[in-house]
A and B are shown apart, each in its own frame.
Chain A
Amino acid sequence: MINLTVVKETIHENLTQPFFLFAALIELTAVFLFSFGIELRYENEVLTGLGFFGRMIEDQVYIMSREFLRSFSGILVYFLMFLFIIGGSATHLGMLQSPLTAVILTKPVSRSVLFLSKFLGLWILVTVLVLAFSVILWCIAFYKSSGNMPTEVLLAPLSFSLEFGVIFAFSAFTAMLVENQTGVSILSLIVYFYVGRMAGNFTLPPVVHTLSLLLPPTGAMNFVTLGSILSGGVDFSVFLRGLPYVIISLGAGVYLFHRKDLR
């Protein structure tokens, strides 16, 4: 079901795309800021001060520590998600519009294999980028906190990686449905940043919450993970709910791709 040559080439091709280059640049900038701009002061394994380029904050340190964890595990990667979604939409739509795709499909490669291999290549690339980025930041924070940075925090970027799987599967499916990059990007961004996170919101009225279960649980995994970290224990239910969405989206995408005429 997967062609490793296509997976490898998808990674290589996307790595040189402007969106991904820009994302890599942002990651490098963040690593630079973390390395030289952030200072963590611990006393008896308790965070007592958080410094940013020499300006030390000592009030409300407990809240600050939570915000720090949130920033570390979420906000930086969250911003990159915007770039990855747009870049991913271009890759998925390229399957219908690129002359090279037409050539590949005259080789012994089926449409299903091409579709799934492109998806997997994209997912691997983004996951590796985000995880590598997060681990580097974690290592810097671990060093600066004299070993007080909890390992569990790394579960948050891992949960992002799983979200990439869900949202890329969704955008691969919508690419086959609407055949327009702007349309695919907008739909994916709406689902990720607005609609999808409803699936993780347990404070919604019961009816709305039940309906929200029909949505891909994107934008929710990170918060669930973060909550799990801060309160102890990990809730895997959202991850498990993401899996059927990936399977259904990819299945529907493959079905539509088989029925499409290539331009």
Chain B
Amino acid sequence: MNDEIRAILKEHGRLAVDVAGLADDADLYQAGMTSHASVNVMLALEGTFDVEFPDRMLRRGVFESIAAIRAAIDELKQG
């Protein structure tokens, strides 16, 4: 799943660095992801993993790292 998340970040995250060089817990905002870009990342994640992030999850913290995104998707898949 992390590879798919990385592919989405590469295409939509508009990061200032190569996503391949980022650790799973690296801060994506410090890597250059803007609020606008994060919306596109959310849309791509919802499309790819067939989930819908409820409004309570639409916060900065939920999308701040690959690990955090993974945890959020796992939670939705289990729910």
Do chains A and B interact in one complex? no
